[in-house]
Structure 1
Amino acid sequence: MFKDRHPVLIAAFWMVGALFSFMAMAVSGRELSADFTTYQILFFRSLLGVFLIGTLVAYSGWGQLRTNRVGGHLMRNIAHFGGQYGWFYALAFIPLAEVIAIEFTTPVWTALLAWMLLGERLTLPRLTALFFGIAGLLLILRPGLETLHPATLAILFGAVGYAMSYIQTKSLAATETPLCILFYMTLIQLPFGMIPSLIDWKTPELHTLPWILVVGVTAMSAHYCMARAFKLADATVVVPMDFMRLPLIALVGYLFYDEQIDLPVALGAGLMLAGNLINIRAEQRKAPLRSQALTALRSPE
């Protein structure tokens, strides 16, 4: 069906799947928060994920799960679980659009952590992206004008957790397959959610089962769709599509939860998007130069 289509168009279809997955995951997380703790929601998510990813691994080969980097997987998933906890906790207390907008600060923290931990250079475009990102965050939070809800701080720290997990993922990707990383993600995070859940366990009732299924399936489908989109199109195409999550989730919040669309949140997210695009454009311009330099080094002349 899609073999004669332009790759960017196919990437757009995958991003539609990612956007709907993220929105469905946010709504299901909000609905489940009325009945379950955040730990229990994360436990259900990981439990379904183990079966879904396990099925894919069984189809593509169990050999890819052999690893000498258990410590790296553990570090990644401690950070990622913290990010997930902040995200799902915040869904219960603050507007959906604010959760997504603050989550978009993840590239800011990723650049800072890569500079501090990996020694990556903070180039002018990266510094520009940092400036726009922090300015956007301040516009969203408006410190001093309003009392910050603890859930706001939770998603802010969650974004830092996501950034730390992205850095560790970059390291793991050199030796591990994506399915290997995802499988250990669900397997390691399963007890992280299960053990605290047992302290205040609540048996799911029939009306919660569809939401549990949605949160488990969309958690996997969102990342799978984004990975397929990035494989087909440049980040300059995919990232603006991802930022469409904000107006879409704001519309969902308005229609289903009577949440008002906050102009400062939208403007702050716009600043973050502008900074990201400036940085991505600069990285793309450098890529051909690096390729030319490598070609020259390999040339026998």
Structure 2
Amino acid sequence: MNQSIVGILWMVVTTILFVGVTATVRYLEGEVPAPQAAFLRYAIGTLLLTPSLISLAKFRPGKPLLQKFVLRGLVHSIGVTLWFYAMSVMPVAEVTAIGFLTYIFVSIGACIFLKERLHKHRLTAILFSFVGAMIILRPGFKIIENGQIGMLMATVVFTASYLIAKVVSKERSSSEIVAMLSLFTTIFLIPTAIYSWEPLSLKAILILTFTALIATLGHITMTKAIKAAPMVVTQPILFLQLVWASIVGLFIFSEKFDPFVILGGTIIMICVCYVSYREHKLGKKITSDALEKVI
């Protein structure tokens, strides 16, 4: 089979899995506090990554590299807590649409902190993405709620996490980076999880276990997609997340269809694809480490 088709199929599976993660968290509807839910998702995920962690037993990172892993774990723990909170109070499609901004923020951050050039295509994408975000949020026309603020903050925090990943990806493999992220994020989530801990129902335990499982599978399938085909081929498929999220929100959670969310999310996703295409034309390699999903 053509490798581009293989990559596209793997990315389609990835979008289904990641929307599945979003839907399972939304299904809990705040039954489990956000810090506790985030901790359990990453703790279970760490257990699922035990083989990778065992293979890292001989891995002795130098102090500077270890500090980067620790810092990323701290930053990511804040981001996932904000994401779990937003997901518990916001429509599935809106969370997905706002989440697309992370890719644009990474482009901005790379120019500021990694000294990458701000090419015209990046600036154009940033400006149009801002327009897309305003269409989704519609400030002045509706009240911007806490969930939306939390999700916007999460995208900024995840940007920092991804930029650190981009730096360490020059020294370690993707599997090592994911394993270390899971481990340190779990550690940093412990204090807030203990503080907010609530007794868990069997339903919550099963849902969070399933969430961790499909999130881990999503990382694997996304890596396979990126390895099989260029990002310029697979990245546009990410738009399907917004399609699946809208369907799930409408038919499973009876959420009202919001055309502004779809329009704004579409504009942002087009900008993401445009940046990916231009970077590909410039001959830059886009790695899976820079595009790891939050969940």
Q: Same fold (TM over 0.5)?
A: yes
Alignment of 1:107-256 (within 5 A): 107-256=103-252
Find the partner of 2:259 among 252, 263, 271: 263
Per-residue deviation at 1:13? 2.5
Per-residue deviation at 1:96? 0.7
Contact 2:232-2:280 at 8 Å conserved across structures:
no
Per-residue deviation at 1:207? 2.1
Contact 2:92-2:245 at 8 Å conserved across structures:
yes
In structure 2, C-alpha distance between the alignment counterparts of 1:36 and 1:72, rounded to whole Å: 30
Q: Which amino acid aligns with 1:129?
A: A
Per-residue deviation at 1:57? 4.1
Contact 1:80-1:161 at 8 Å conserved across structures:
yes
State the match for 1:16 in structure 2.
Answer: 12
State the match for 1:294 in structure 2.
Answer: none
Per-residue deviation at 1:277? 2.4
TM-score (norm 1): 0.89
Per-residue deviation at 1:30? 1.4
Contact 1:96-1:250 at 8 Å conserved across structures:
yes
Per-residue deviation at 1:64? 6.1
In structure 2, C-alpha distance between the alignment counterparts of 1:151 and 1:169, rounded to whole Å: 26
- Identity, % of aligned pairs? 25
Q: Which amino acid aligns with 1:172?
A: V
Find the partner of 1:66 among 44, 56, 60: 60
Deviations 1:210-256 (A, max 9, x none): 20111111221112211111111122221111111001111100001
Question: What is the aligned length?
Answer: 282
Q: Which amino acid aligns with 1:204?
A: L
In structure 1, C-alpha distance between the alignment counterparts of 2:46 and 2:19, rounded to whole Å: 22
Find the partner of 1:93 among 89, 100, 121: 89
In structure 2, C-alpha distance between the alignment counterparts of 1:280 and 1:46, rounded to whole Å: 29
Q: Give ranges in structure 2 of 5+ residues lacking alignment.
A: 285-295
Per-residue deviation at 1:84? 1.5
Residue 100 of structure 2 corresponds to residue 104 of structure 1: yes
Whose radius of gyration is greater, 1 or 2?
1
State the match for 1:299 in structure 2.
Answer: none
In structure 1, C-alpha distance between the alignment counterparts of 2:239 and 2:53, rounded to whole Å: 31
Change over 3 Å in CA distance of 1:116–1:139 after alignment to 2: same
TM-score (norm 2): 0.90
Contact 2:85-2:150 at 8 Å conserved across structures:
yes
In structure 1, C-alpha distance between the alignment counterparts of 2:19 and 2:203, rounded to whole Å: 20
In structure 1, C-alpha distance between the alignment counterparts of 2:195 and 2:222, rounded to whole Å: 35
In structure 2, C-alpha distance between the alignment counterparts of 1:13 and 1:246, rounded to whole Å: 17
In structure 1, C-alpha distance between the alignment counterparts of 2:277 and 2:238, rounded to whole Å: 16
Contact 2:89-2:147 at 8 Å conserved across structures:
yes
Per-residue deviation at 1:199? 2.0
Q: Give ranges in structure 1 of 5+ residues lacking alignment.
A: 289-301
Q: Which amino acid aligns with 1:232?
A: A
Per-residue deviation at 1:81? 2.1
Contact 2:12-2:240 at 8 Å conserved across structures:
no
Per-residue deviation at 1:17? 2.4
Residue 78 of structure 2 corresponds to residue 82 of structure 1: yes
